[in-house]
Amino acid sequence: MAINAFQAALFGLFACLASLPGMGGTTIGNYTLGRPLVAGLIVGIIMGDMQTGILVGAAIQVVYIALVTPGGTVSADVRAVSYIGIPLAILAIKNSGIDPASAEAAGMAASLGAAVGTLGTVLFYGTATINLVWQGMGWKWLEKGDLHKLYLVNNVLPWIGHIVCSFLPTFIITMGGTAMVDLMKTYMPMDGIAMKTLFTVGSLLPTVGIAILLKQVISKPTDFLTFFFGFTLSAVMGCNLIAAAGIGCFFALINYEIASLKIDLANAPKAAIASGSDDEEEEDI
């Protein structure tokens, strides 16, 4: 299996759209096209093997399930993860003959994706820095009252930066993908320490993504019980995610009812009866 110039160009185009900051906008670009699972579907279709694409995308998605970028600091670049990492991982898996649905393939995909994504942060800073040039022009146009040129600054000129920082790197690296994967096969045998480590890292990496999420949602020690509850639902009771979300919603409802009851009770002496909230009438004293 190899990647031809047309396929590599398509990856390059999607990289432009899916980056953060990208030309597809935040909602459709970064948060849709940039998610590895969606990219897995797209790359899979482009490479003619949708199934492997999705399996690889899903494996990498777990690592980046929570890619929060507070204040514009990034720990991984989505265009690199999704449109360089996934094509390379598909090549590596196909050309080494591992079963794409196996845990080994998932581990290989996750570690390749993470390696490429971390190196790719340089592309993020590159794009943002080039945008400074357009913004500088924008300030001048704003000063002169040439207001419609702002659309040019915001929607058109950043494409130039993306050709340099998104299209070209993606195109060149995915074009050379087959050669790279062949080299890897020759110099890094599967039973060697390097490959064993690579796969093990791949299985460990998703924990970082989940821990980043936990950091966001855990504000007091008892929140761990909630997390542990969800983990147990799946690990011991065999609930899938939809079932776990359903059970979670039920407990959240109880939690909300209790919390709003508390608020109503706290407000009751001050607000008397008049401002009683609509859903908790009966419990008001």
Partner 1 sequence: MAEKKKLSKKTLAKSFRNWSYGNLTCFSQEHMQTFGYLCAMLPIVEELYDTPEEQKQALQTYSAFFNTEPQIGTMIVGVTAGLEEARANGEAIDDDAINGIRAGLMGPLAGLGDSLIVGTLIPILLGIALGLSTGGSPLGAIFYIVVWNLLMFLGMRFAYNQGYELGGKAVEALVGPKAKALRDSIVMVGTMVIGAVGATWVSITCSPNLVLPGGGKFQDTLDGIYPHLLPMVFIIFCWYMMTKKKVNPIVMMLILVVIAFVGVLIGFFDPALSY
Among 128, 178, 182, 276, binds partner 1 (CB under 8 A): 128
The reply on whether position 200 binds partner 1 by CB under 8 A is yes
For the window 69-108, what string marks contact with partner 1 as x by the rule CB under 8 A?
-xxx--xx-------------------xxx-xx-xx-xx-
Least distance in Å: CB of 277 to partner 1?
Answer: 7
Whole-number Å distance between alpha carbons of 3 and 108: 19
Which CB, 172 or 190, lies closer to partner 1?
Answer: 190
Q: How many CB atoms lie within 10 A of CB 141?
A: 15
Among 160, 183, 204, 265, binds partner 1 (CB under 8 A): 204
The reply on whether position 214 binds partner 1 by CB under 8 A is yes
The reply on whether position 221 binds partner 1 by CB under 8 A is no
The reply on whether position 170 binds partner 1 by CB under 8 A is no
Least distance in Å: CB of 183 to partner 1?
Answer: 14
Whole-number Å distance between alpha carbons of 226 and 16: 39
Whole-number Å distance between alpha carbons of 24 and 155: 10
Which CB, 5 or 229, lies closer to partner 1?
Answer: 229
Among 122, 160, 211, 265, binds partner 1 (CB under 8 A): 211
Residues 2-61 that bind partner 1 (CB under 8 A): 20-23, 25-28, 30-32, 35, 37-38, 40-41, 50-55, 57-58, 61
Residues, the chain: 285
Name which of 120, 134, 52, 37 is nearest 92 in CA terms: 52
How many CA atoms lie within 13 Å of 179's alpha carbon, on the beta-carbon side? 6
Q: What are the tokens at 62?
A: 């777990």
Residues 132-161 that bind partner 1 (CB under 8 A): 132, 134-135, 138-139, 142, 145, 147-148, 150-151, 153-155, 157-158
The reply on whether position 239 binds partner 1 by CB under 8 A is yes
Question: In the chain, helix, strand, coil percent, each to 5?
Answer: 80, 0, 20
The radius of gyration of the chain from alpha carbons, rounded to an integer in Å, stands at 24
The reply on whether position 253 binds partner 1 by CB under 8 A is yes
Enumerate residues 6+ apart whose C-beta is below 8 A from 102: none
Whole-number Å distance between alpha carbons of 285 and 279: 14
Least distance in Å: CB of 5 to partner 1?
Answer: 26
